A and B are shown apart, each in its own frame.
Chain A
Amino acid sequence: MTAGPEETIAFEPAPAARTGLTARLQHHHLAIAAVLTLALVAPLAAQSFVTFQLTLVMIYGLAILGLNLLTGFNGQFSLGHSAFYGIGAYTAAILMDRWDISYVWTLPAAGGVCFVVGFLFGLPALRLQGIYLALATFALAIATPQLLKFRPLEPLTGGVQGIVILKPDPPDFVQHALSGLHLKPIDADQWLYYFTLAVILVMFTAAANLVRSRTGRAIMAIRDNPIAAAAMGINTALYKSLTFGASALYTGVAGALGAIAVQFVAPDSFTFLLSVSLLVGLVVGGVGSIPGSLFGGVFVLFVPNLAERVSTGLAGAIYGVILLLVIFLMPSGAAGFARMLAARFGRRSRSI
């Protein structure tokens, strides 16, 4: 969990490194542009089921980004992010089902609710470090599904039966614009994909800016050396709680999107296993890497299916083997692996 090499270079740009850096930045931009184009075209070519899967990948990626802000950048462990995901999902479902609020507005609501819950949970968690914090958040993950089934809350949560919600149709103005351009109208899955993509872009950009800002440096300073950070005048308690809140916000928005995509919420959807999946996605994608979170989403969604395709009976064991291989081959996650490849190819092209 050390700062990436970009940062180290950026702080002390040696003349030789600077040209390499700008070249790499251009590569970065090219890569982002390529990925974006691919992301925009994909649902037009893919089956609607694949579009749905890609939507889920983005949603899990966003949830993992939330966990990454807390664990990767601030050094606090959490096994309780399934709770924030669930609270976000339920906020969206209840608003849509009970009060007929448009799905668009459920996202800020879910984010807000989760920010408050995360911030408040972060306050007592300040006293806990490392594995003790992991245990406290574990308790949160265990308690949430039971609270969702709790009888007095049932008129709101629907109890064990959960809540079924309607999938949003593409808004009319989009269809009008498309027919104006003589293009085919898009279906609900494609619309949700683009909607999610837009949300993801905004939130990933915001996260990247946050990490690069003064606040972000404070957050990382607390991770690297809390005593030194406090000595430099950083309000450690406030920043840690705020990071907890922001992390919960991200995961909560992902939960709300997840509820809209799946069209159903139930307490059994947000068990402790979801927390573990998010943690696996975090480690595989790269702790402390923002684009790595998306790769984590890919892993969380597709690898269990892949394992099952190999053998139904041994799916769990095969998943474990794949996980071990990935950790062994990419010890610092997909992001670290990509950095390593870039460094190797960069050197080769320079030697030519």
Chain B
Amino acid sequence: MNLAELQRYFARAATSGRGPLPELDRVFLGNERLSAEDRLAIYNRGYFYRLLEALASVFSQTKRVLGESDFERLGLAYVAQHPSEHPAVERVGRSFSAYLRRVAAPPLVVDLARLEWARLCALVAPNPASVATASGIDAERFPRARLRFVPSLQWLELDPRTLPVFAGDISAPGAADISAPGALAAGGAPVAVWRREHVVHQLCLDEAEWKALLRAASDATLSGVCAVFDRGSQTEDERHAFQVLSSWFGRQWVAAVAYDARQPNSR
């Protein structure tokens, strides 16, 4: 075999989920202490358990809810179908929540995995080049300005039980029965996840703030963002819009206020 063939053969042996390959003894040496099959099994076990360990480190609450044996069964099946595509091992879980959905895991489990993946993305996101403050806003140009968010900010809609279950609160309504159908059909709970300093935070948003965030993220101007606050009372709507936008600056979600539409979003 040439080098490419030998490496392909080794990789197949080390990542095979179906037992040893034929002809191992023709490629590798063994001895009385350890056969070629035993030797390749060391790499095979190491491959799967290293990736499983990486999954468990990212999806610790998903694992807690699923239980050790179900997590291991699903995790091993997942890594067999989704080998790592990133130099950093923890990124192997990029499609884990989609996989859980595909194998019909309970919606709460799927959403726990989505939340934990968002938390990882927030945790490892690059530091923002800058963090904007509300006091730095140019009032004259404010309506035409656009917000650029920090790289760590994530947003997603989740089963409303996800945050309490993540926090270990099984007394939350419906949290004790993970196999119960989720509440997404009735509208999921919008959640923002971000990192401030070294700590990852998550927060449920109200409907208006969620719409405003989606608009701001899709490059709407601030006047467009504020237009979502429309309950009929101008004073109340302005107060709400001010409160929400101020909180975004306070939570350090905003990397920059762009007065030029061509300034790209850093995310």
Whether A associates with B in a native complex is no
